[in-house]
Amino acid sequence: MPIEWNEKDGIFHLYNSKVSYLIQIVYGKYPAHLYWGRRVQTNQASAILTFKGRAFSPSTEPDHPQFSLDTLPQEYPTFGNGDFRTPGYQLQTADGSTITELVYDSHEIFQGKRPIEGLPASYVEDESEAETLVITLVDSKLGIGLHLQYTIYQDFEVITRSVAFEHLGSQDVQILKCMSMSVDFHHADWDWLHLHGTWGRERHIEREPLHQGTQMISSARGASSHQHNPFVALLSKSADEEHGDVYGVSLIYSGNFQASIDVDPFETARLSMGINPFDFSWLLKPGGFFQAPEVLMVYSSEGLGGMSRTFHKFLRKRVCRGVYRDITRPILINNWEATYFNFNERKLKEIADAGKALGIELFVLDDGWFGKRENAKSSLGDWVVDKKKLPNGLEGLSEYIRKKGMKFGLWVEPEMVSPDSDLYRKHPDWCLHVPGRNRTPSRNQLVLDLSREEVCDYLINTFTEVFQSAQISYVKWDMNRNMTEVGSAALPPERQRETAHRYMLGLYRIVDKLTERFPDILFESCSGGGGRFDPGMLYYMPQTWTSDNTDAAVRLKIQYGTSIVYPAVVMGSHVSDVPNHQVGRTTPLVMRCHVAMTGNLGFELNIDKLSGDDKKLVAEQIKQYHKIKEIVCFGDLYRLMSPFAGMDSAWMYVSEDKGKAVLFYFKTMASPNPPFLRLKLRGLDNEKIYRINNGGKDYFGSELMQMGLNLPLIKNDFSSYLYYLEALQ
Ligand code: DGJ
């Protein structure tokens, strides 16, 4: 039984072979956090709680003056009864008060895991995989119930959490804040790590010590954002890639979020995560229910690398869905950087022909195929093929591609509308806006109001038609701006601050319907590159365009940072032209191929214009990718040298049975008269003998891991090496 309830002490113990999570209901009322970490056996778990009356920390329990909510490690803290730290939630009642008294009422433990209404969430394929605990707290004066939901998986070091409010009372209540989780750590001697960036520079790693006060990341952009990924980790001071305690939390949500860590004067640390409370509220009517998004909580005793590998497996197997979940993806060529908006059918066919000749399997037609879209100034919303560019329509082009034995894919940006479009002229109130205020454009476009049911229905119908109009095997779902003037013409004043979350619920409904209607289409989500790279989108679309920056050197950092949470199979990763369109840098084709081969390989250039030698090299690399793609996409990742630390980067993927591995080594700037570098590999089998690069030398796994592999002395900038390791039988 992975969830035990010790009624005598009021303790819940959630565990599997690696992890324990303990909660105690103190005085039959207050859910206290006892422990989260490496698996423990417990006898005196409640002894971990010590109470001491502290000045200015009031007690809600007259018989226990030593007790205070202010010092209790809590599972879901409130504000207003003595805990002066950051609360998990805040409600406002009809009389204006924000005081609540939610205390333990009941609990339920069941096998498996129930879906979360309207939101993406992790799932089980069989009830025996996991067990779920729902603790219900009630404020009897308000008639409000709060469900704290925890699931522990048998085979993953993962606990999932979410919360939901249920209103059984009689007066309206405004939810002002509703975080999805809160955990109080009994000390604050941690570093925190998060992934930050901007367009073209996503998910760069930052690691800093915790300090007194609050450290926070968030998005108020209407998307999870390029700026901050909905993920943070706490690491013990000595934790590195292999060793140490690491706690990672990741929100399954694609909109505004907040993650914060508060250190109080007694050196405890409160980690919480959920929908960003800034500019959010939700009117809960009697009979209503509000569900917050789910958080994945990973504990690793094997450092950051261990945490990443757990996230990778879990996201691949229990968040991503659909026919593509467990298979490698076709190698694609996308026309965007080759042509931008300036293409015709002939040009596209030339790219497809050249791609096919080199072994590319899927041709993707990007932006510019519809309306009068000569540039980014018009036509979003008018999803009718431009016959000037494509006289035979999508069907004609798709037929040509398919006859060649390739698949056909299409770019769309459903959530947006150009002011210069028939859709906008017909429905000017269908975009997010505030009456009497400016409608601030970004990339010349406005955001459709997906909080409105009729707008969502319209998009479902429109894109059902588009996807049926030609045989489409792949869709790139783009979203190229963030939200401004967030308001909805369809919502009453007291619900205006619900708009951004309702937008997400609308978006999830649309993509749920379309991915269900078109189960054989491979969907890739995108937001100006990786502006919405999160588990929420991955639930519907099993891969994401990692960044609009295709420069191989910058991509080392972006992909390395992304790998902290996300597996290689979900990272769209393309070889593009030089000088690179984003940074003007020229890197060798082989390095561009190798970097792209550490994710989901694709191409995005005028491949027909490559020299004969370059074409030969591309064909060879494609062949090589076929050999390694199962290992890269589904193997275990070991990061060996960080591009954030210097000029050398290296990481490797090891197949589940440890029979095969692929090592990538990159050097960005060569240094004069360099030292010899010896790289210790990881994740191999000590006893197995590995042959390197087919015909190279043979080494024991222990040799490679303990003594290391000599790296070449490098003279050239932007050098890259791919080593293929195969165990001898
Ligand atoms: C942004 C995407 O990230 C690009 O790859 C491309 O699809 C453009 N949008 C098209 O407008």
Rounded to an integer, what distance in angstroms lies between the CA atom of residue 617 and that of residue 290?
Answer: 55
Q: How many CB atoms lie within 10 A of CB 178?
A: 26
Spacing, Cα 527 to ligand 1 middle (Å): 8
* Cα gap 390→215, rounded to integer Å: 52
| Region 117-134 average pLDDT | 97
Write the CB contacts of 507 (distance below 8 Å, at least 6 apart in sequence): 254, 415, 450
Q: Active-site positions?
A: 478, 548
Residue nearest to atom 10 of ligand 1 (CA): 367
**pTM score of the predicted model:** 0.98
Terminal CA-CA length for the chain? 39
Instruction: Please compute the mean of the pLDDT values over residues 101-117 and round it to a whole number.
Output: 97
* Average of per-residue pLDDT across 48-58: 94
Residue 628 gets the label, from left (phi > 0), alpha (psi -120 to 50) or beta, of alpha
Among the listed residues 87, 90, 85, 70, the one whose alpha carbon sits nearest the alpha carbon of residue 263: 85
pLDDT tens digits along 429-471: 999 999 999 999 999 999 999 999 999 999 999 999 999 999 9
Distances (CA, A) of 563 to 206, 308, 397, 632: 14, 7, 36, 12
Q: What does the pLDDT look like over 3-22, one tens digit per residue?
A: 999 999 999 999 999 999 99
Give the mutation target among 527, 544, 545, 603 for probing the ligand 1 site: most ligand atoms within 8 A of CB. 545
pLDDT value for 697: 87
List, by residue range, all CATH 2.70.98.60 domains of the chain: 82-318
Q: What is the C-alpha separation between 130 and 533, in angstroms, rounded?
A: 27
CA distances from 358 to 349, 362, 595, 608 (A): 14, 12, 18, 10
Confidence tier at 695 by pLDDT (50, 70, 90): confident
Instruction: Report pLDDT digits (tens) over 579-607.
Output: 999 999 999 999 999 999 999 999 999 99
Q: Which residues line ligand 1 (CB under 6 A)?
A: 336, 366-367, 411, 478, 480, 526, 528-529, 545, 548
DSSP assignment, residue 329?
A: P
Question: Which whole-number Å values give the CA distances from 587 to 203, 366, 648, in the listed order?
Answer: 22, 25, 15
CA of 168 to the centre of ligand 1 (A): 47
Ligand 1 atom closest to residue 526's alpha carbon, by position in its atom list: 3
Atom 2 of ligand 1: nearest residue by CA position: 528
User: pLDDT tens across 351-409, in order?
Assistant: 999 999 999 999 999 999 999 999 999 999 999 999 999 999 999 999 999 999 999 99
- Measured distance CA(90)–CA(109) in Å, rounded: 27
CA distance 92 to 176: 7
In the reported structure, the alpha carbon of residue 254 is separated from the centroid of ligand 1 by a whole-number distance in angstroms of 18
pLDDT in tens, 149-161: 999 999 999 999 9
CA–CA distance, 75 with 88 (Å, rounded to integer): 9
1: pLDDT strictly greater than 70: no
Question: Which architecture does CATH list for 641-727?
Answer: Sandwich (2.60)
| CATH number listed for the domain at residues 82-318 | 2.70.98.60
Residue nearest to atom 1 of ligand 1 (CA): 528
pLDDT in tens, 228-267: 999 999 999 999 999 999 999 999 999 999 999 999 999 9
Nearest ligand 1 atom to alpha carbon 527: 3
Q: State the virtual CA torsion across 328, 548, 604, 636 in degrees, nearest 10.
A: -30
Burial 328-356 (b: 16+ CB within 10 A, else e): bbbbbbbbbbbbeeebeeebbbbbbbbbb
> Nearest C-alpha to atom 11 of ligand 1 is from which residue?
367
Mean pLDDT, the chain, as a whole number? Answer: 97
Measured from the Cα of 376, ligand 1's closest atom is 11
Contacting residues for 461 by C-beta, under 8 A, at least 6 apart? none
Q: Which atom of ligand 1 is nearest to the CA of 411?
A: 7
Total Cβ atoms within 10 A of residue 138: 18
Residues 187, 263: Cα–Cα separation, whole Å = 9
Ligand 1 centroid vs 478 CA: distance in angstroms?
7
C-alpha 466 to ligand 1 mean position (Å)? 19
Quick: pLDDT tens for 284-342.
999 999 999 999 999 999 999 999 999 999 999 999 999 999 999 999 999 999 999 99
Q: Indicate which residue's Cα is closest to atom 9 of ligand 1.
A: 528
pLDDT of 424: 98
| Residue from 548, 550, 603 to probe ligand 1 pocket by mutation (most atoms less than 8 Å from CB) | 548
Decide if 82 contacts 69 (C-beta within 8 A): yes
Distance 236 CA to ligand 1 centre (A): 39
Gap from CA of 76 to ligand 1 centroid (Å): 41
Residue carrying structure tokens 């009642």? 93
Peptide bond between residue 542 and the one before it cis (omega within 30 degrees of 0): no
pLDDT in tens, 628-662: 999 999 999 999 999 999 999 999 999 999 999 99
CA-548 nearest atom, ligand 1 = 3
| Rounded Cα gap, residues 450 and 445, in angstroms | 15
Query: Do residues 671 and 700 touch, judged by C-beta distance below 8 A?
Result: no
User: Where in the chain is CATH 2.60.40.1180?
Assistant: 641-727
For ligand 1, mutation pick of 198, 202, 333, 336 (most atoms within 8 Å of CB): 336
